[in-house]
């Protein structure tokens, strides 16, 4: 059988509490003007203390299941992309599985940060195309707000990130008319570990020459907060996202002008504008959500997909391209007919 996979349903969730840039001004010694000008972000959603990452994922999953019109018992596997799991181990996929009341099916986490969803979707695609499974739940979910330095020391990073979850049901399909039927055409995945420390969260970790994963000195130095060389990330992100998109298009004989909608990772509005400029993509074909959600890392692409469907910007049969870049460095792209 010549199986492909298609997006049968999509769902998303962001917590209720909204933090506008002006709410961060006192806390972080920043300004609405700086944040909007440099990033495009106007607000983000942050969880209440009772919520965990798998709680957000559960809500997104429920919406995706309803959209796909399948019961949770039909899920064959859970692939959960996150850098902010409920606990160090086991993975958030296992916690979500229990909350869904499922057992036996495989559940695992993907730790590819901002590229997590592209990696997760590509891995699920392999299992569907070879016929092993019929329906795979692919999640991207993050709670950043519980791990941000909310003092002026953290302002370079903490203004960027929001909490949220997005989910898709990826379903095995047989494509009769590739110009109309939903399916993933291609995914490309990449990494370059020599840049691992340009955007990372060092502690807790075993990479320190001490006998514990975290100690008071690490806490005092803020090694438990993410640190980033923003300019390096910016330069590599624009270059790599453009490059991987072109390569994906080339492999399947698609012109950039054939793509109806671009759902990019949401790290910075200026990154996405620059990628569009490099590739000559009209801005109106790029669907952005960073203004209202900030960077929700693994969740940005499925959340954007959910919002684009709700806004009527994404309809069945449209050709979509996604690309992401993030910590690792990791990056990738995917072209799919929705």
The one segment of 59-67, 82-90, 213-221, 265-273 that binds ligand COA by CB under 6 A: 265-273
State which of residues 64, 233, 298, 320 lies at the interface with ligand COA (CB under 6 A): 233
199 belongs to the binding site for ligand COA (CB under 6 A): yes
Whether 316 contacts 338, CB under 8 Å: yes
Q: Give the N- to C-terminal CA distance of the chain in Å, as an integer.
A: 21
237 belongs to the binding site for ligand COA (CB under 6 A): yes
For the record, the structure tokens of 257 come out as 């002008």
State which of residues 267, 279, 309, 320 lies at the interface with ligand COA (CB under 6 A): 267
Q: Which residue has the tokens 């709700």?
A: 310
State which of residues 105, 234, 239, 292 lies at the interface with ligand COA (CB under 6 A): 234
**Residues contacting 231, CB < 8 A, separation 6+:** none
Whether 320 contacts 262, CB under 8 Å: yes
Q: Measured over all CA atoms, what is the biggest interatomic distance in the chain, rounded to whole angstroms?
A: 61
The DSSP-derived string for 173-234 is EE-S-TTTS-EEEEEEEEE-GGGGGGEE---S-S-SSSSSS--HHHHHHTTTS-EE-HHHHH
Q: Can 265 be counted among the known catalytic residues?
A: yes
The one segment of 50-58, 143-151, 213-221, 227-235 that binds ligand COA by CB under 6 A: 227-235
Q: Can 144 be counted among the known catalytic residues?
A: no
231 belongs to the binding site for ligand COA (CB under 6 A): yes
User: Which of 325/338 has CB closer to ligand COA?
Assistant: 325
Q: Which residue has the tokens 């979910």?
A: 141
Q: How far is the CB of 79 from ligand COA (least distance, A)?
A: 20
330 belongs to the binding site for ligand COA (CB under 6 A): no
Q: How far is the CB of 160 from ligand COA (least distance, A)?
A: 6
Q: Can 114 be counted among the known catalytic residues?
A: yes
Closest by CA to 161, choosing from 150, 177, 172, is 150
39 belongs to the binding site for ligand COA (CB under 6 A): yes
Closest by CA to 7, choosing from 253, 141, 181, 254, is 181
For the record, the structure tokens of 292 come out as 């209202």
- Using CB positions, name the residue nearest to ligand COA: 230
Q: How far is the CB of 29 from ligand COA (least distance, A)?
A: 7
State which of residues 52, 248, 268, 300 lies at the interface with ligand COA (CB under 6 A): 268
Whether 302 contacts 168, CB under 8 Å: yes
Active-site hit among 45, 114, 135, 183: 114
Residues in the chain: 338
Letters for 109-148 (x = contact with ligand COA by CB under 6 A, - = none) are -----x----------------------------------
Q: How far is the CB of 158 from ligand COA (least distance, A)?
A: 8
Q: How far is the CB of 177 from ligand COA (least distance, A)?
A: 36
Helix spans in the chain (H): 21-28, 32-39, 53-68, 92-99, 116-129, 155-158, 216-221, 230-252, 269-279, 290-293, 300-310
Give contact residues for ligand COA (rule: CB under 6 A): 30, 34, 38-39, 114, 155-156, 159, 199, 228, 230-231, 233-234, 237, 267-268, 271, 295, 325-326
- Which positions are catalytic? 114, 265, 295
């Amino acid at each position: 059988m010549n199986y492909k996979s298609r997006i049968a349903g999509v769902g998303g969730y962001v917590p209720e509490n909204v933090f506008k840039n002006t709410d961060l001004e006192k806390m972080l010694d920043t300004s609405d003007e700086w944040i909007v000008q440099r990033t495009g972000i106007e607000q983000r959603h942050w969880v209440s203390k009772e919520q965990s990452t798998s709680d957000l994922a559960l809500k997104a999953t429920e919406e995706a299941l309803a959209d796909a019109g399948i019961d949770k018992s039909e899920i064959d596997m859970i692939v959960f992309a996150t850098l902010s799991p409920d606990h160090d181990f086991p993975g958030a996929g296992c916690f979500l599985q229990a909350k869904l009341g499922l057992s036996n099916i495989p559940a695992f986490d993907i730790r590819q940060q901002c590229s997590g969803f592209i990696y997760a979707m590509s891995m699920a695609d392999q299992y569907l195309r070879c016929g092993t499974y019929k329906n795979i739940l692919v999640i991207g979910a993050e709670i950043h707000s519980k791990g941000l330095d909310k003092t002026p020391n953290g302002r370079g990073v903490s203004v960027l990130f929001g909490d949220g979850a997005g989910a898709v049901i990826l379903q095995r399909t047989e494509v009769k008319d590739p110009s109309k039927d939903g399916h993933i055409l291609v995914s490309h995945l990449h990494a370059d570990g020599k840049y691992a420390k340009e955007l990372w969260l060092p502690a807790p970790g075993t990479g320190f020459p001490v006998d514990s994963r975290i100690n008071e000195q690490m806490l005092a130095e803020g090694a438990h907060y993410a640190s980033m060389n923003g300019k390096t990330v910016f330069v590599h992100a624009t270059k790599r996202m453009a490059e991987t998109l072109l390569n994906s298009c080339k492999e399947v004989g698609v012109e950039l002008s054939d793509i109806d909608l671009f759902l990019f990772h949401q790290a910075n509005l200026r990154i996405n504008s620059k990628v569009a400029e490099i590739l000559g993509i009209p801005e109106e074909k790029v669907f952005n959500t960073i203004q209202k959600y900030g960077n929700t890392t693994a969740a940005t692409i499925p959340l954007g997909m959910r919002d684009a469907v709700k806004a009527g910007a994404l309809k069945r049969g449209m050709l979509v391209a996604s690309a992401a870049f993030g910590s690792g460095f990791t990056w990738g792209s995917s072209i799919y007919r929705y």
